[in-house]
Amino acid sequence: MTEELMFRPLEFKILNLLSSFYMRYYSTNNPNHQVGLKEAVIKGLAPDQGLYMPEHIPVMPASFFEDLPTMTFQEMAYEVIGALFGEDLNLSQVKALVDHTLVFDAPLVKVEEGVYSLELFHGPTLAFKDFGARFCSKLMSMLMEGEERKVRVLVATSGDTGSAVANGFYKVPGVEVIILYPKGKVSALQEMQFTTLGENIHCLEVDGVFDDCQRMVKEAFLDQELNEKMLLTSANSINIARWIPQCLYYFYAWCRLPEKDKKLAVSVPSGNFGNLGAGILAERMGLPIDVFVASTNVNKIVPDFLHGLNFKAKPSIATISNSMDVGNPSNFYRLLALYGNDEALLRKKVKGFFFDDEDTAKVMKKVQCETGYTLDPHGAVGYLGLRNFLRMNGDDYVGIFLETAHPGKFKSVVDKVLGIDLELPDRLKEFMKGKKKAAALPNDYGAFREFLSSAN
Ligand SMILES: *Cc1c(COP(=O)(O)O)cnc(C)c1O
């Protein structure tokens, strides 16, 4: 995909000339391909299909870490986001971004001795993707200020991404969101989380499967004539505006951890590896995390790599932790880049474990029974990875695992595994009361194109 295909190159060239003092973002496929913040965010993916990375990573000063335990989540985030984006955004923009994003907490909950759950599911759609989606929407609308054209965000979803993006972009001025999802292939709860909003959120129920939705979105990005008429962008998880803000809760977790005299292991249940990559970003910024645990289900491409095999994409396998069923983890090259493309260093700092559905279900029961804590299937994989690491590394470490979704989001699995009827949180119940608004779309690009062209 060439630059010319997607957006007006002249605009960006001028912008880039003016912005030589600003942070540059390079492509993981070619360090010489560099762009400014606006282009990196609006494009999402580099034209050579590489991922954008900040050209330098700021290290937070010692005074920051001394003050951290007394700071609020917001105060801490002003500093971190200021360090990362301060060359492009002024202080009031940084504050507005953080305040828009952090409207919910991320508590650190003790599950058992030396094991803490970092609960990232207290946002509007009860999954950690809310952090990135909220930040991304706000940053996009800031970068689009003064632009006459509206930006249209195209999203193909199999469920979770659609709800996080729809809720993150809901009523954001200057941005229209178009969600394509496969008819009958997402759960009722997921569907209600994006189809009941209305306003600037438009839902298309496609007579096909997820891959058809994805293909139509890709085709739209490659449609030169369409892109001359309108500004199309994506808000998928490889976008720096979704990826970078995820580093914030690692800092927050560390400052609330009681046992700071021990070494720290952080286990991240992973699919596309954006979340783990953001943890490494925090560590590169000076946060004292001693080891990361990459925990996956049987889609174990990265654990295999960490055990010495070559990185090799495979078809994905369906599991009960289905938001991590990823056969080609797109953020892998970010992990490498963060360690200077030194594979040995990556293998030293990140330990990999994988688990099948039986292991996952078993530990959900065990933890529920022994501690009363209800894990969702993704958090359960994170917990298992951490436990395995701690078993081999004795008493030197304290551990945190990321609980990436509320168990209620996976109610059918959780109920079945635990033999309970889990009470849904009020926020999820609210969605179920709404009215579904979605237009039917045939599985045909021409029809999608017509929808976009007529929508103005
Ligand atoms: C997306 C998702 C993951 C995987 O996160 P990555 O950043 O893609 O590794 C894990 N758990 C849940 C609940 C998710 O929705």
Residue 47 reports pLDDT greater than 60: yes
271 C-beta closer than 6 A to ligand 1: yes
Residue 4 reports pLDDT greater than 80: no
**Interval between CA 17 and ligand 1 midpoint (Å):** 37
**Interval between CA 19 and ligand 1 midpoint (Å):** 34
- Angle (deg, nearest 10), helices 129-143 and 160-169: 40
Per-residue pLDDT band for 174 (boundaries 50, 70, 90) equals confident
| pLDDT for position 454 | 87
Residue 261 reports pLDDT greater than 80: yes
| pLDDT for position 2 | 38
Say if CB 128 and CB 275 are below 8 A apart: yes
What integer is the mean pLDDT of 315-333? 90
273: Cβ–Cβ under 8 A, 6 or more apart, which residues? 294, 302, 329, 330, 331, 332, 334, 335
| pLDDT for position 351 | 98
Residue 140 reports pLDDT greater than 50: yes
Residues 419-451 as b/e (b if ≥16 CB within 10 A, e otherwise) read eeebebeeebeebeeeeeebeebebebeebbee
What integer is the mean pLDDT of 40-53? 90
| pLDDT for position 6 | 44
**Interval between CA 235 and ligand 1 midpoint (Å):** 15
Residue 353 reports pLDDT greater than 60: yes
| pLDDT for position 96 | 96
Per-residue pLDDT band for 11 (boundaries 50, 70, 90) equals low
The Cα 355–Cα 442 span in angstroms is 38
DSSP-derived pairing of the beta strands 291-296 and 350-354? parallel
* Lowest model confidence (mean pLDDT) among 3-7, 17-21, 141-145, 185-189: 3-7
Residue of higher predicted confidence among 2 and 131:
131
Best mutation site among 324, 326, 402 for ligand 1 pocket (most ligand atoms within 8 Å of CB):
324
**Interval between CA 270 and ligand 1 midpoint (Å):** 6
DSSP state letter for 289: -
Best mutation site among 125, 155, 378 for ligand 1 pocket (most ligand atoms within 8 Å of CB):
378
323 C-beta closer than 6 A to ligand 1: yes
For residue 274, give the ligand 1 atom closest to its CA: 7
Per-residue pLDDT band for 181 (boundaries 50, 70, 90) equals very high
Say if CB 147 and CB 231 are below 8 A apart: yes
C-alpha dihedral sign at 288, 50, 236, 272: negative
What integer is the mean pLDDT of 103-114? 96
The Cα 177–Cα 403 span in angstroms is 28
Q: Kindly list the catalytic residues.
A: 129
The Cα 188–Cα 186 span in angstroms is 7
379 C-beta closer than 6 A to ligand 1: no
Residue 311 reports pLDDT greater than 90: yes
**Interval between CA 272 and ligand 1 midpoint (Å):** 7
329 C-beta closer than 6 A to ligand 1: no
| pLDDT for position 150 | 84
**Interval between CA 9 and ligand 1 midpoint (Å):** 33
* Lowest model confidence (mean pLDDT) among 23-37, 225-239, 301-315: 225-239
Max CA pair span of the chain: 63
404 C-beta closer than 6 A to ligand 1: yes
The residue whose C-alpha atom lies closest to atom 2 belonging to ligand 1 is 323
For residue 378, give the ligand 1 atom closest to its CA: 11
Residue 281 reports pLDDT greater than 60: yes
Per-residue pLDDT band for 456 (boundaries 50, 70, 90) equals low
What integer is the mean pLDDT of 206-230? 89
Condensed to tens digits (0 to 9), the pLDDT of residues 413-442 reads: 999 999 999 999 998 888 889 999 999 999
What integer is the mean pLDDT of 312-332? 91
Q: How many CA atoms lie within 13 A of 302 on its CB side?
A: 36
Per-residue pLDDT band for 214 (boundaries 50, 70, 90) equals confident
Instruction: Name the nearest CA neighbour of 300 among 355, 236, 225.
Output: 355
Best mutation site among 244, 272, 276 for ligand 1 pocket (most ligand atoms within 8 Å of CB):
272
The residue whose C-alpha atom lies closest to atom 1 belonging to ligand 1 is 323
Residue 380 reports pLDDT greater than 60: yes
| pLDDT for position 19 | 47
127 C-beta closer than 6 A to ligand 1: yes
Residue 9 reports pLDDT greater than 50: no
The Cα 39–Cα 33 span in angstroms is 12
Residue of higher predicted confidence among 409 and 246:
246
What integer is the mean pLDDT of 297-324? 94
Best mutation site among 117, 275, 330 for ligand 1 pocket (most ligand atoms within 8 Å of CB):
275
The residue whose C-alpha atom lies closest to atom 15 belonging to ligand 1 is 323
Say if CB 168 and CB 194 are below 8 A apart: no
Residues of the chain with pLDDT > 70: what percent? 95
The Cα 75–Cα 95 span in angstroms is 9
| pLDDT for position 455 | 73
* Strand residues in 166-262 grouped as ranges (E): 175-182, 201-206, 231-233
* Lowest model confidence (mean pLDDT) among 11-15, 51-55, 209-213, 384-388: 11-15
What integer is the mean pLDDT of 174-203? 92
Q: Which domains are seen in the chain, by residue range?
A: 18-55+103-456 (3.40.50.1100)
